[in-house]
């Protein structure tokens, strides 16, 4: 007979099993040099200090996560971060697919390994090597998420600068569109194809790749599973790129929940500034901060402002301190204001 509800189940939703199984993924993106790696590592460190099981991974081909954490991650392996009971970090080798698959202990389950996908897609679709690298990035990240879900609570992704990141994230859409069209076309001549075993096998693999991409995008666009944080600085060009990235991500269904405006000089001290250069920069920043509010303040997005500090933020202690500030700027204000650059 099965279980029957004594009322209409129209409004009831099934358990979101993906949300139950997957850890939370937080992706950071923004213009080059704005502080993505620092903010990612800081938040990850502060959350790890609070007892969450964390992995922080760089997907920027020009890794600097290891520099930020003051540890050597250059072998592409997953490393425990010293000073934490449950924090892992990785700079996967992006250029060398084979090394990455071996280096990070990825599950190699045959059909959809990046090399065979690359061959397959290279044969069938776009021979452009950049697009293929993007596919590899996506598949590698997706596999990592799949493997990590049992062992970590939160995954922090230090993203590549926004342009590269957007190309990566848009790619599955173009790909799926293409695969969809191809599927329709091939459906029409299916009877011919079923006689050709190799073509049948290719079709199956294409469907698998398309499915991986779809699941990947489903996860990124599900607010219960993934959050995107944009990082910027109070400069006109950075704001322009932030606005473009915001629009582009929303257009593909990825909701940006947070904006971190980093490296802000204290506007309250402009009048007393002995250095005219610094005063002018601070005045300009105040204008851009107002523009940021006008442009993004009305969106459903939390804006966190971070002061420009008079020192680099590297190593566990500095990162945890910055992370605590990010989690609760009000509480940390006093400790930071004393060391804020003016
Ligand atoms: N609030 C801050 N105050 C002072 N220095 C900062 C602040 N945030 C970041 N920095 C410093 O700015 C530099 C660049 O930061 P980071 O490497 O995090 O930027 P990024 O956006 O990841 O750069 P890339 O695009 O090259 O990956 C680092 O030296 C970092 O210590
Ligand atoms: Mg970086």
Contact by Cβ (8 Å): 140, 107: no
Of 38, 70, 91, 314, best ligand 1 pocket probe by most atoms within 8 Å of the beta carbon: 38
Q: Report the C-alpha gap between 90 and 94 in whole angstroms.
A: 11
Ligand 1 pocket, 310 CB below 6 A? no
Tell me 184's DSSP state. Answer: H
Contact by Cβ (8 Å): 238, 232: yes
58 C-alpha vs ligand 1 centroid, how far in Å?
14
Ligand 1 pocket, 33 CB below 6 A? yes
319 C-alpha vs ligand 2 centroid, how far in Å?
14
Strand, coil or helix: 83: coil
Blockwise average pLDDT, block size 10, the chain, 342 residues: 59 62 82 95 96 88 92 91 93 51 32 46 44 58 65 85 71 60 53 59 68 73 87 95 91 90 82 80 91 89 90 94 90 51 50
Q: Report the C-alpha gap between 157 and 141 in whole angstroms.
A: 9
Contact by Cβ (8 Å): 114, 131: no
Q: In what order do the strands lie in the sheet with 24-30?
A: 79-80, 87-90, 54-58, 154-158, 24-30, 226-232, 256-264, 302-307
Half-sphere exposure of residue 221: CA atoms within 13 angstroms, side-chain side? 17
Looking at residue 280, its pLDDT comes to 87
- Residue bearing the CA closest to ligand 1, atom 29: 312
70: left (phi over 0), alpha (psi -120 to 50) or beta: left
Strand, coil or helix: 25: strand
Torsion 234-240-245-250 (CA) sign? positive
Of all ligands present, the nearest one to the C-alpha of 69 is: 1
User: Which DSSP string corresponds to 121-162?
Assistant: HHHHS---HHHHHHHHHHHHHHHHHHHHTTT-SEEEEEPPPH
Greatest alpha-carbon span in the chain: 82
Looking at residue 51, its pLDDT comes to 92
> What is the model's pTM?
0.77
Q: Can you state the angle between helices 236-251 and 276-296, rounded to 10 degrees?
A: 20
175 C-alpha vs ligand 1 centroid, how far in Å?
34
Ligand 1 pocket, 38 CB below 6 A? yes
Q: Report the C-alpha gap between 306 and 341 in whole angstroms.
A: 11
Q: What are residue 96's phi and psi, to 5 degrees?
A: -110, 100
Looking at residue 66, its pLDDT comes to 97
Strand, coil or helix: 101: helix
Which atom of ligand 1 lies closest to the CA of 313? 31
Which residue ranges form the domains of the chain, and what is each CATH number?
Answer: 22-108+141-169+224-337 (3.40.50.300)
Whose CA is closest to 233, among 279, 264, 267?
A: 264
Residues found in the chain: 342
Ligand 1 pocket, 32 CB below 6 A? yes
Q: What are residue 159's phi and psi, to 5 degrees?
A: -75, 165
Ligand 1 pocket, 309 CB below 6 A? yes
Number of neighbours of residue 34 by Cβ within 10 angstroms: 25
Looking at residue 142, its pLDDT comes to 61
Query: Ligand 2 is a single-atom ion; what residues have CB below 5 A from it?
Result: 36-37, 64
Task: Work out the angle at residue 15's Cα, subtended by the Cα atoms of residues 146 and 23, and round it to the nearest 5 degrees.
Answer: 30
Whose CA is closest to 238, among 28, 29, 27, 30?
A: 30
Strand, coil or helix: 259: strand
Looking at residue 121, its pLDDT comes to 46
Contact by Cβ (8 Å): 338, 295: no
Q: H or E element: which one contains 102?
A: helix 97-103
Looking at residue 262, its pLDDT comes to 94
């Amino acid at each position: 007979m099965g279980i029957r509800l004594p009322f209409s189940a129209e409004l009831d939703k099934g358990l979101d099993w993906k949300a139950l199984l997957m850890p939370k993924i937080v992706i950071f993106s923004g213009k080059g040099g704005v502080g993505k790696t620092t903010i990612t590592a800081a938040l990850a460190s502060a959350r790890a200090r609070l007892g969450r099981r964390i992995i922080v991974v760089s997907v920027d081909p020009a890794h600097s996560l290891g520099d930020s954490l003051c540890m050597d991650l250059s072998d592409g392996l997953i490393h425990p971060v010293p000073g934490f009971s449950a924090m892992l970090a990785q700079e996967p080798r992006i250029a060398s697919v084979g090394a990455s698959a071996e280096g990070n202990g990825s599950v190699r389950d045959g059909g959809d390994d990046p090399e065979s996908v690359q061959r397959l897609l290279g044969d069938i679709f776009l021979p452009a090597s950049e697009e293929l690298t993007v596919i590899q990035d996506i598949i590698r990240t997706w596999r990592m998420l799949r493997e990590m879900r049992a062992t970590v609570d939160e995954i922090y992704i230090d993203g590549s600068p926004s342009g590269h990141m957007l190309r990566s994230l848009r790619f599955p859409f173009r790909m799926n569109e293409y695969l969809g069209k191809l599927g329709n076309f091939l459906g029409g001549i299916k009877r011919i194809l079923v006689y050709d075993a190799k073509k049948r096998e290719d079709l199956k693999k294409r469907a698998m790749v398309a499915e991986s991409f779809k699941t990947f995008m489903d996860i990124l666009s599900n607010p219960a599973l993934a959050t995107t944080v944009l990082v910027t600085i109070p400069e006109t060009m950075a704001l322009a790129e932030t606005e473009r990235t915001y629009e582009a991500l929303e257009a593909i269904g990825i909701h940006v929940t947070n904006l971190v405006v980093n490296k802000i000089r204290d506007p309250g001290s402009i009048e007393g500034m002995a250095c005219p250069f610094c005063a002018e920069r601070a005045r300009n920043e105040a204008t851009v901060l107002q523009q940021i509010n006008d442009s993004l303040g009305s969106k459903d997005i939390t804006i966190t402002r971070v002061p420009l500090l008079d020192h680099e933020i590297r190593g566990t202690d500095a990162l945890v301190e910055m992370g605590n500030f990010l989690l609760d700027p009000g509480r940390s204000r006093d400790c930071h204001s004393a060391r804020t650059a003016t």
